[in-house]
Structure 1
Amino acid sequence: MTRLLLGVTLERICKAVLLLCLLHFVIIMILYFDVYAQHLDFFSRFNARNASRSHPFSNSSRPNSTVPSYGPASAEAPSPSTKPSTNQSTTEKPLQPCQETPPGLVGRLLIEFSSPMSMERVQRENPDVRQGGKYSPPDCLPRQKVAILIPFRHREHHLKYWLHYLHPILRRQKVAYGIYIINQFGEDTFNRAKLLNVGFMEALKDDEEYDCFIFSDVDLIPMDDRNLYRCYEQPRHFAVGMDKFGFRLPYAGYFGGVSGLSKSQFLKINGFPNEYWGWGGEDDDIFNRISLNGMKVSRPDIRIGRYRMIKHERDKHNEPNPQRFTKIQNTKMTMKRDGISSLQYRLVEISRQPMYTNITVEIGRPPPRLARG
Structure 2
Amino acid sequence: MRDSNVNFGVLHRTCKLLVFFCFVYITATLVYYAKSVNFRLAFVQNQQSHVKTDPIKLEVKYSGALELKTTLGSNSSEPGPKTLEQCPDPSPLLVGPLRIEFSSPVNLDTLRREHPELREGGRYAPPNCVALQRVAIIIPFRNRDEHLKFWLYYLHPILLRQQLDYGVYIINQDGDETFNRAKLLNVGFAEALKEYNYDCFVFSDVDLIPMDDRNTYRCFSQPRHLSVSMDKFGFRLPYNQYFGGVSSLSKEQFLKINGFPNNYWGWGGEDDDIYNRLSSKGMSISRPSGAIGKCRMIRHERDKKNDPNPQRFDRIAHTRETMLKDGISSLSYSVLKVEKDLLYTKITVDVGKRTK
Alignment of 1:4-15 (within 5 A): none
Is the counterpart of residue 291 in structure 1 residue 309 in structure 2?
no
Amino acid paired to 2:156: H
Aligned residue in 2 for 1:182: 171
Does the 8 A contact of 1:122 with 1:160 survive in 2?
Answer: no
Is the counterpart of residue 211 in structure 1 residue 175 in structure 2?
no
Aligned residue in 2 for 1:365: 353
Return the offset for 1:90.
3.2
The counterpart of 1:247, out of the listed 223, 235, 238, is 235
Name the SS of the counterpart of 2:189 in structure 1. helix
Alignment of 1:59-208 (within 5 A): 90-207=79-196
Is the counterpart of residue 281 in structure 1 residue 272 in structure 2?
no
Is the counterpart of residue 232 in structure 1 residue 230 in structure 2?
no
Does the 8 A contact of 1:150 with 1:196 survive in 2?
Answer: yes
Amino acid paired to 2:180: N
Aligned residue in 2 for 1:323: 311
Return the offset for 1:77.
8.5
Name the SS of the counterpart of 1:214 in structure 2. strand
Name the SS of the counterpart of 2:185 in structure 1. helix
Return the offset for 1:143.
1.2
Consecutive aligned runs of 4 or more in structure 1 exceeding 4 Å deviation: none
Amino acid paired to 2:185: L
Amino acid paired to 2:251: K
Amino acid paired to 2:142: R
Amino acid paired to 1:306: K
Does the 8 A contact of 1:151 with 1:181 survive in 2?
Answer: yes
Name the SS of the counterpart of 1:312 in structure 2. coil
Equivalent pairs: percent with the same residue? 63
Structure 2 unaligned spans of 5+: 1-73
Task: Give, in whole Å, the separation in 1 of the partners of 2:288 and 2:275.
Answer: 17
Name the SS of the counterpart of 1:194 in structure 2. helix
Is the counterpart of residue 340 in structure 1 residue 328 in structure 2?
yes
Task: Give, in whole Å, the separation in 1 of the partners of 2:92 and 2:195.
Answer: 31
Name the SS of the counterpart of 1:273 in structure 2. coil
Amino acid paired to 2:219: C
Structure 1 unaligned spans of 5+: 1-75, 79-87, 369-373
Name the SS of the counterpart of 1:197 in structure 2. helix
Aligned length: 283
Amino acid paired to 1:214: V
Does the 8 A contact of 1:97 with 1:142 survive in 2?
Answer: yes
Task: Normalising by structure 1, report the TM-score.
Answer: 0.74
Task: Give, in whole Å, the separation in 2 of the partners of 1:289 and 1:77.
Answer: 61
Is the counterpart of residue 302 in structure 1 residue 290 in structure 2?
yes
Aligned residue in 1 for 2:44: none
Does the 8 A contact of 1:236 with 1:298 survive in 2?
Answer: yes
Return the offset for 1:120.
1.1
Name the SS of the counterpart of 1:248 in structure 2. coil
Name the SS of the counterpart of 2:102 in structure 1. coil
Amino acid paired to 1:256: G
> Structure 1, residues 245-283: CA drift from partner, whole Å, max 9, x if none?
000111110000000000000000000000000000000
Task: Give, in whole Å, the separation in 2 of the partners of 1:97 and 1:149.
Answer: 25
Alignment of 1:15-30 (within 5 A): none
> Structure 1, residues 6-56: CA drift from partner, whole Å, max 9, x if none?
xxxxxxxxxxxxxxxxxxxxxxxxxxxxxxxxxxxxxxxxxxxxxxxxxxx
Name the SS of the counterpart of 2:242 in structure 1. coil
Amino acid paired to 1:120: D
Task: Give, in whole Å, the separation in 2 of the partners of 1:284 and 1:352.
Answer: 33
Return the offset for 1:127.
1.7
Task: Give, in whole Å, the separation in 1 of the partners of 2:257 and 2:228.
Answer: 22
Amino acid paired to 1:90: P
Name the SS of the counterpart of 1:261 in structure 2. strand
Task: Give, in whole Å, the separation in 1 of the partners of 2:75 and 2:272.
Answer: 68
The counterpart of 2:337, out of the listed 346, 349, 354, is 349
Aligned residue in 2 for 1:54: none
Task: Give, in whole Å, the separation in 1 of the partners of 2:173 and 2:80.
Answer: 48
Return the offset for 1:118.
2.5
Task: Normalising by structure 2, report the TM-score.
Answer: 0.78
Q: CA RMSD in A?
A: 1.4
Name the SS of the counterpart of 1:251 in structure 2. coil
Query: Highest Rg: 1 or 2?
Result: 2
